[in-house]
Amino acid sequence: DAKTTQPPSMDCAEGRAANLPCNHSTISGNEYVYWYRQIHSQGPQYIIHGLKNNETNEMASLIITEDRKSSTLILPHATLRDTAVYYCIVRVDGSGGGADGLTFGKGTHLIIQP
Amino acid sequence: DAGVIQSPRHEVTEMGQEVTLRCKPISGHDYLFWYRQTMMRGLELLIYFNNNVPIDDSGMPEDRFSAKMPNASFSTLKIQPSEPRDSAVYFCASRLSSGRIEQFFGPGTRLTVL
Rounded CA-CA distance A64/B3 in Å is 31
Question: From A47, which residue of chain B is nearest by alpha-carbon distance?
Answer: B102
Rounded CA-CA distance A113/A67 in Å is 33
Question: Amino acid identity of B69?
Answer: M
pLDDT at A98: 47
Rounded CA-CA distance A108/A72 in Å is 12
- How many other C-beta atoms lie within 10 A of the C-beta of residue A66? 6
* A103 lies within 8 A of chain B by CB: yes
| Percent of chain B predicted with pLDDT > 70 | 96
* B101 lies within 8 A of chain A by CB: yes
* A32 lies within 8 A of chain B by CB: no
Cα within 13 Å of Cα(A108), Cβ side: 25
CB interface of B with A, residues 10-69, below 8 Å: 31, 33, 35, 42-45, 48, 50, 55-56, 59
In 3D space, the residue among B101, B105, B100, B80 whose CA is nearest the CA of residue B90 turns out to be B105
* A53 lies within 8 A of chain B by CB: no
Which has the minimum average pLDDT: A90-94, B87-91, B98-102? B98-102
Contact A95 B42 (CB under 8 A): no
Q: List pLDDT tens digits, range A18-58.
A: 999 999 999 988 889 999 999 998 999 999 999 998 999 99
End-to-end CA distance of chain A: 37
Rounded CA-CA distance A34/A106 in Å is 14
User: Which residues of chain B neighbour A44 with C-beta distances below 8 Å?
Assistant: 43, 91, 93, 103, 105
pLDDT at A18: 98
pLDDT of B12 > 50? The answer is yes
Nearest to A94 among B45, B101, B107 (CB): B101
Contact B45 A101 (CB under 8 A): yes
* CB contact at 8 A, A84 and A10: no
Rounded CA-CA distance A49/A94 in Å is 11
pLDDT at A2: 65
Confidence at A101, pLDDT banded by 50, 70, 90: confident
